[in-house]
Structure 1
Amino acid sequence: MRQAAAHDDRTLAVVVSTADVLGHPAARRESLTAAEQRRAAAFRFDRDRDDFIAAHLLVRLCAGRLLGVPADTLTLEQHCADCGSREHGKPSLAGVPGVHVSLSHTPDVVAAAAGRQPVGVDVERATVSGTALGTAGRVLSPQELRTMRATARPDRYFLRQWVRKEALVKIGETSLRDMAKADLSALPADVPDGSPRLSRHGELHVLDWTDERRDAVAAVVSAGRPRLGVAAVPLSDITD
């Protein structure tokens, strides 16, 4: 591992624990907007609130690294194209139209990405419930369903495709209702723990990551080739 430069034009993607973000000296809660603070306060459980806050701070850290500016000087905005709300939806940086950002959170683990090209990221805990698997017919293409049924770990295969497709939704390449139309069966099913794997889906780059220690699976989809992988802590260390 090597330390990335303070100013870096490459797509940055980080998967890390919620606790590590909240304990990072540059992750300042006071940088959250009023809308983010309202959404954070609405969570019933502290754990969920912390995950939300950590993801919104981590995306600032990634963008700050990309731009070479302090993370707490960046303002995160969101806009929902369906309802017009500014309280949720696709994230962006106020006053920085040339940078694309994405974020995700799952219990105790968060992910974020920032780049000069459109990018989407998703992270989920690796344990898949039977209820989630029951949605496979609405999420997977016919070929993906056949592959899932033939694999020794159908739950892991489903989850791998799920995070990829969630990232595709965030980048605007598909929608939640059209997930099954996106056939990702040609992408590798096996992603070894701790080794980012880069693949192609048409003109898009897909970066997969498995983190057994955090019981997490993540995917990054970018229009530009991610030249950096997904990092574990500390946040100053990012793998090529």
Structure 2
Amino acid sequence: MTATAAVDAVLPPITAGRVHRWGGARLIVARAHELRRAPQLSPAERRVLGALPAWRQAEWTAGRLLAKRLVGEAVSGPADGVEVLPRDDGSPRVLVGGSPVPALHVSISHTPGYVAAALAPQPVGVDLCEFASAGAVRRVADHFLSPEELSLIGGERPDALAGAWALKEAAVKADRSGVFGAAPRGIPILGLRPPVLGGRRRAAVWRADDAALALVLAEPGG
């Protein structure tokens, strides 16, 4: 079995640059270096961007570009009328024509090489984790994975470790909590092939070239 085939056995591939649909959600992942067009930003978005450190601005802008594309398709309107602004807890929210759209939930993720966004009618989380980060994930695995989860995942496979991290991160994003602290331990991984999480959550994980991409949909109150 080739290395690519071995990874595919755990994480099925997903095509970059195209909008995918899964479980009622819209999802897109792109290679960061291929996103050359800047989105139209509102004055409020420009204020948020200007407050970020320089190294964060490019990835923040790329995430908004993808999120605005998804919202524009969902509401059948121009992406220029869409705003994606942070809540007090830092999670993104959607506004169209200056008005919040509580029926649309958005999540954004980025790594040095990739950017992803997801949109759904229910709480949603998306996360990317490059396989090259597996060593760092392994060093903190005891803090977010139980012994049972580590045994289930297999602690030596970079793709599985990246997939587990992305799953946990996507899940806490859907819950609007954080990956550090007690929250990740409260969302057990019950399966990786296919991905199954505890609670009223649905999950999927794909391979975007050399990164794991996870999507989690959470039922409100679940």
When the two structures are superposed, what TM-score results if normalisation uses the length of structure 1?
0.70
Deviations 1:203-224 (A, max 9, x none): 2110211022xx2111010137
User: What SS is found at the alignment partner of 2:191?
Assistant: coil
User: How far is 1:200 from its partner?
Assistant: 6.1
Do the aligned residues in 2 keep the contact of 1:18 with 1:108 (CA within 8 Å)?
yes
2:67 counterpart (53, 59, 62): 59
CA distance in 1, matches of 2:196, 2:143: 24
Higher relative contact order (CA 8 A, sep 6+): 1
Task: Find out whether 1:18 has 2:18 as its counterpart.
Answer: no
Higher helix proportion: 2
2:49 counterpart (37, 40, 56): 37
User: How far is 1:131 from its partner?
Assistant: 3.5
Aligned to 2:213: 218
Task: Find out whether 1:156 has 2:159 as its counterpart.
Answer: yes
CA distance in 2, matches of 1:158, 1:129: 6
Do the aligned residues in 1 keep the contact of 2:200 with 2:218 (CA within 8 Å)?
yes
Do the aligned residues in 1 keep the contact of 2:155 with 2:161 (CA within 8 Å)?
no
1:137 counterpart letter in structure 2: D
CA distance in 2, matches of 1:131, 1:100: 30
- 1:131–1:122 Cα change, 3 Å: closer
Deviations 1:73-101 (A, max 9, x none): 111111233xxxxxxx0110122121100
2:46 counterpart letter in structure 1: A
Long gaps (5+) in structure 2: 1-14
Aligned to 2:39: 28
User: How far is 1:173 from its partner?
Assistant: 7.0
Task: Find out whether 1:207 has 2:204 as its counterpart.
Answer: yes
Paired residues in the alignment total: 193
User: How far is 1:174 from its partner?
Assistant: 5.6
Deviations 1:36-71 (A, max 9, x none): 32145x224xxx532221111111111111111111
CA distance in 2, matches of 1:54, 1:173: 21
Aligned to 2:93: 92
CA distance in 2, matches of 1:124, 1:203: 23
CA distance in 2, matches of 1:101, 1:163: 16
| Consecutive aligned runs of 4 or more in structure 1 exceeding 4 Å deviation | 197-201
User: How far is 1:141 from its partner?
Assistant: 1.6
When the two structures are superposed, what TM-score results if normalisation uses the length of structure 2?
0.75
Do the aligned residues in 2 keep the contact of 1:159 with 1:217 (CA within 8 Å)?
yes
- 1:210–1:135 Cα change, 3 Å: same
- 1:11–1:163 Cα change, 3 Å: same
Deviations 1:136-165 (A, max 9, x none): 0001122012234x4651x32221111011
1:92 counterpart letter in structure 2: R
When the two chains are superposed, the root-mean-square deviation of aligned CA atoms in Å is 2.7
Aligned to 1:85: none
- 1:13–1:180 Cα change, 3 Å: same
- 1:181–1:141 Cα change, 3 Å: farther
CA distance in 1, matches of 2:108, 2:190: 25
User: What SS is found at the alignment partner of 1:28?
Assistant: coil
Deviations 1:162-219 (A, max 9, x none): 101111111117642121232103232xxxxxxxx6756542110211022xx21110
CA distance in 2, matches of 1:71, 1:198: 32
